[in-house]
Chain A
Amino acid sequence: MGVLDYVLAGIVEALTGNPALALGPLILSWPVLMVVSGFLTGVLIGAVPGLSGPFAMAMALPILISAFGFSSDALLPVMGFLVGIMKGATLGGAVPAILFNIPGTPDAFMTTLDGYPMAQKGQSRKALRVAQFASVTGDSFSDLVLFVCAPFLAISIELFLGLSEKAALMILSLSFVAVVVGSDAFRGLLAVSLGLLVASVATGADAYPRLSLGSDVLAAGLPTIPVIIGLLVVSEILAGLAELRRDRHKARAHAPTPDDQSGLSWAERRALLPFIGVSMSLGTLIGALPGIGSTLAAALGYTAGRKMHKGPVPFGEGTPEGIASCEAANSAVSGANLIPALSLGIPGNISAVFLILAATSIGGFNPGPSVFRFTQDQVNPELVIAFGLFTLMVVANLLNWATGARFMEMLGGLIRVPRHILLPIVLLLTLTSVYVEGGAMMDVIILLIFGVAGCLMRWSGVPILPFVIAYILAAPLEMTIRNAFEASGADPWFLFHGFFSPACLVLAVAIIVFSGWLRAGRRAA
């Protein structure tokens, strides 16, 4: 099969491969149905203050696996739903930021700076339209970069990097994530190390399940989904409830200012394009690096936009260019974040973690360089799935272009549901999802234990994302190191041959040591 054949096979698989409804020649496939449902769910969840895309992905993943099972047919519907949530939540986060000065997602904070002043001036509809236009433009651009770069990067890695180089690259990625997430590099390293240690429990090559303390429960291995959902979601819910108990007034959102119903003309859209162009380029660049995230992208996009801006209304006082700058940047992160996930198997953010988790839980698709093998003589099913996933991302973007703005405007009333009502419901839904997926009480207990562990990590300033990424990467990292060692004929210096591998390792150590000391020194000064 040639490249075009694979692309076509992916498109056909996504659009017609697994039909949910067939009306004559018209087929509505499960993947398309799920990406549409995921997008609508994502906008809804992203628009509710206190909830976010990862919340929805965490709740949805066990349900989706229970519903679709573990066959290869389940991959595209499940991953399509998650992709839909990822895109929808980024868009939805702007709604409360603009209408109520409450960022629905952390990266929507910069949107409040100009969005809320516009809403106060009675221009909330226009502000929402600007946010949607910038968001969908940034997202579409980022996806195009993903479609081009991920196969190219993966093929390059397969061609030029051996096992030891791949292992060194994973180690460098982990140290990079440790440094850039959170405010203290040593705490980042601590989180990565803890993630690797916890992932070691009851795994390994030997018949005896290592570090299982003689316990039958641990000997079966820690279930991945409860561990990750506990750390990310349960700890967030518990911390959110505790915060609400302290500041009860935050539970309520106030009513929006009446709107003048002004839209966004084509001329106004054209005027926004330079700001969107710069911000989406910055967002895409940042998104391609693991762990940095959309909050920094939004901040950099906003700063760049402020330097470019020469209009009558300054940034921070309700200018559409301000909203466009941060929304284009934070939305451009989401597609680019999948570049390391799909080409290297290294999750760059929480959304990528859940996509990799879905792929590995269901089986039949292992994100990494091997996905993009364009085999001629026989079909590479993983590559077909990858192009199917890209097709679903395009479907989500088309849906976003067509309906995103109207859907955002409809959400104004719904998002006034107070967080103190929402969070306990989300907790019950999470407990139920995890129990239903695993079918064992022990999964719920592990979920709660890691929820408490997540609270302790938040308390002590140890970032959670590096832990989760290390936990996911531990098994492939260990396997690559084992294979590289065996391929080298048990050479103890197998990681230090050539240029690339030692360079990665030296860089990995250097960025931890220097950023740890430099950051602390700068703060002390």
Chain B
Amino acid sequence: MTVTTRWKDLGLGIFGIAAAGVILFVWIPADISTGVIDTWRRVTRIGDAMLPVFATIGILLSCMGIAANAALRRPGADWALLHAPMLLMAGAVLMVSLALMMLTGPVLAWVVMGPDQPYRILRDDMPWKYTGFLIGGTFLIAALQALVMRRLRWRSVGVGLLASVLIAMFYGLPFEDLLLPPNGDF
């Protein structure tokens, strides 16, 4: 067991024990109206707190086991690479693409039709139904490919657009009533 893994395991164990304490003594009492056993009108039954209490005890015991193994230098599971920068960048790409899907239609409609036209009436019609999905979808696919390959290529944009069109057709043609995500869904 490496020193780093040991400290990570110890950290996971201690974090889990602390979280279990908070859930057990703060969250569950404050946010569940019946206890582990509940008696109401002389009927005794299992209360709503039973499952979360036992689940939290499981968290507590498992984290104590993980921490004890680490303290005794007994190896646990291997830690994978987190790839935090990539995950953050992928998260940002997802946020931007969802925003594009959500806002492109309303913004374009506002520009073309003026501010008096309510978007809710337009969102299920061409071209508004597809603008946000195609632009957001193309951005999502092209940007994620660019993140992996560390450069943006026009081919990625083309692949993104083609895939978005195919997915939009896949849902839009057979199911007329379905809305593609998340077109003006505030």
Tell yes or no: A265 within 8 A of B by CB.
no
**A476-518 toward B: CB 8 Å interface, digit per residue (1/0)?**
0110011001100010100000000000000000000000110
Contacts of B77 in A (CB 8 A): 182-184, 187, 460-462
Question: Does A432 lie within 8 Å of B167, measured CB to CB?
Answer: yes
Question: Does A421 lie within 8 Å of B80, measured CB to CB?
Answer: no
Contacts of A402 in B (CB 8 A): none
Report the stretch among A32-40, A237-245, A374-382 that lies at the interface.
A237-245
* Bound Cα distance A85, B173 (Å): 24
Among A183, A242, A439, A461, which residue has its beta carbon within 8 angstroms of that of B86?
A: A242
Contacts of B57 in A (CB 8 A): 193
* Bound Cα distance A390, B41 (Å): 48
Tell yes or no: A474 within 8 A of B by CB.
yes
Among B51, B61, B160, B180, which residue has its beta carbon within 8 angstroms of that of A435?
A: B180
**B83-96 toward A: CB 8 Å interface, digit per residue (1/0)?**
10011001100100
Question: Does A432 lie within 8 Å of B51, measured CB to CB?
Answer: no
Question: Does A200 lie within 8 Å of B52, measured CB to CB?
Answer: yes
Contacts of A521 in B (CB 8 A): 74
Also in contact, A481 and B148, with CB within 8 A (given A190-B59, A444-B181, A516-B65): no
Question: Does A184 lie within 8 Å of B148, measured CB to CB?
Answer: no
Contacts of B104 in A (CB 8 A): none
* Bound Cα distance A440, B54 (Å): 32
Question: Does B82 lie within 8 Å of A187, measured CB to CB?
Answer: no
Also in contact, A428 and B163, with CB within 8 A (given A459-B79, A459-B80): yes
Among B28, B32, B59, B145, which residue has its beta carbon within 8 angstroms of that of A194?
A: B59
Among B31, B59, B83, which residue has its beta carbon within 8 angstroms of that of A243?
A: B83
* Bound Cα distance A482, B73 (Å): 41
Tell yes or no: A407 within 8 A of B by CB.
no
Please, which residue of chain B has its CB at the minimum distance from the CB of A214?
B31
Tell yes or no: A286 within 8 A of B by CB.
no
* Bound Cα distance A432, B132 (Å): 12
Contacts of A211 in B (CB 8 A): 27-28, 31-32, 52
Among A187, A251, A460, which residue has its beta carbon within 8 angstroms of that of B62?
A: A187
Question: Does B148 lie within 8 Å of A245, measured CB to CB?
Answer: yes
Among B55, B87, B141, which residue has its beta carbon within 8 angstroms of that of A425?
A: B141
Question: Does B159 lie within 8 Å of A421, measured CB to CB?
Answer: yes
Among B46, B75, B159, B180, which residue has its beta carbon within 8 angstroms of that of A482?
A: B46
Tell yes or no: A304 within 8 A of B by CB.
no
What is the distance, in angstroms, from B44's C-beta to the closest C-beta of chain A?
Answer: 4
In chain A between 2 and 20, which residues have their CB closer than 8 angstroms to a CB of chain B?
Answer: none
* Bound Cα distance A184, B141 (Å): 36
* Bound Cα distance A193, B137 (Å): 36
* Bound Cα distance A429, B181 (Å): 11
Tell yes or no: B21 within 8 A of A by CB.
no
Please, which residue of chain A has its CB at the minimum distance from the CB of B160?
A424
Please, which residue of chain A has its CB at the minimum distance from the CB of B56?
A197
In chain A between 49 and 66, which residues have their CB closer than 8 angstroms to a CB of chain B?
Answer: 63, 66
Contacts of B25 in A (CB 8 A): none
* Bound Cα distance A498, B1 (Å): 44
**Chain B contact residue count (CB 8 A cutoff):** 75
**A363-381 toward B: CB 8 Å interface, digit per residue (1/0)?**
0000000000000000000
In chain A between 211 and 229, which residues have their CB closer than 8 angstroms to a CB of chain B?
Answer: 211-214
Among A190, A432, A448, A481, which residue has its beta carbon within 8 angstroms of that of B16?
A: A190
Tell yes or no: B63 within 8 A of A by CB.
yes
Question: Does A186 lie within 8 Å of B65, measured CB to CB?
Answer: yes
Also in contact, A190 and B66, with CB within 8 A (given A210-B32, A211-B28, A245-B83): yes
What is the distance, in angstroms, from B180's C-beta to the closest C-beta of chain A?
Answer: 7
Tell yes or no: A270 within 8 A of B by CB.
no
Question: Does B52 lie within 8 Å of A210, measured CB to CB?
Answer: yes
Question: Does B75 lie within 8 Å of A520, measured CB to CB?
Answer: yes
Contacts of A410 in B (CB 8 A): none
Question: Does B167 lie within 8 Å of A420, measured CB to CB?
Answer: no
In chain B between 35 and 60, which residues have their CB closer than 8 angstroms to a CB of chain A?
Answer: 37, 44-52, 54-59
Question: Does A244 lie within 8 Å of B148, measured CB to CB?
Answer: yes
Tell yes or no: A332 within 8 A of B by CB.
no
Question: Does B182 lie within 8 Å of A436, measured CB to CB?
Answer: no
* Bound Cα distance A452, B88 (Å): 10
Contacts of B79 in A (CB 8 A): 459-461
Among B1, B52, B69, B90, which residue has its beta carbon within 8 angstroms of that of A241?
A: B90
Among A239, A516, A523, which residue has its beta carbon within 8 angstroms of that of B83?
A: A239
Contacts of B182 in A (CB 8 A): 435, 441, 444
Tell yes or no: A22 within 8 A of B by CB.
no
Tell yes or no: A524 within 8 A of B by CB.
yes
Contacts of A184 in B (CB 8 A): 66, 69, 76-77
Question: Does A435 lie within 8 Å of B62, measured CB to CB?
Answer: no
Tell yes or no: B154 within 8 A of A by CB.
no
Question: Does B76 lie within 8 Å of A424, measured CB to CB?
Answer: no
Tell yes or no: A152 within 8 A of B by CB.
no
Contacts of A248 in B (CB 8 A): 148-150
* Bound Cα distance A187, B34 (Å): 30
What is the distance, in angstroms, from A491's C-beta to the closest C-beta of chain B?
Answer: 10
Please, which residue of chain A has its CB at the minimum distance from the CB of B185?
A441
Question: Does A460 lie within 8 Å of B12, measured CB to CB?
Answer: yes
Beyond A183-B76, A428-B137, A482-B45, 13 extra complex contacts between A and B, CB < 8 Å: A63-B171, A66-B178, A183-B78, A193-B58, A196-B55, A210-B32, A248-B150, A420-B148, A421-B159, A432-B137, A436-B181, A452-B91, A485-B45
> Could you list some 11 contacts between A and B, CB below 8 A?
A186-B66, A189-B62, A190-B16, A197-B56, A199-B51, A200-B55, A239-B83, A420-B145, A431-B98, A435-B181, A459-B81
Please list the residues of chain A having a beta carbon within 8 angstroms of any beta carbon in chain B: 63, 66-67, 182-187, 189-190, 192-194, 196-197, 199-200, 204-208, 210-214, 238-239, 241-246, 248, 251, 420-421, 423-425, 427-429, 431-432, 435-436, 439-441, 444, 448, 452, 455, 458-462, 474, 477-478, 481-482, 485-486, 490, 492, 516-517, 520-521, 523-524
Q: Which 3 pairs between the two chains have the least Cβ-Cβ distance? A: A193-B58, A461-B77, A242-B83
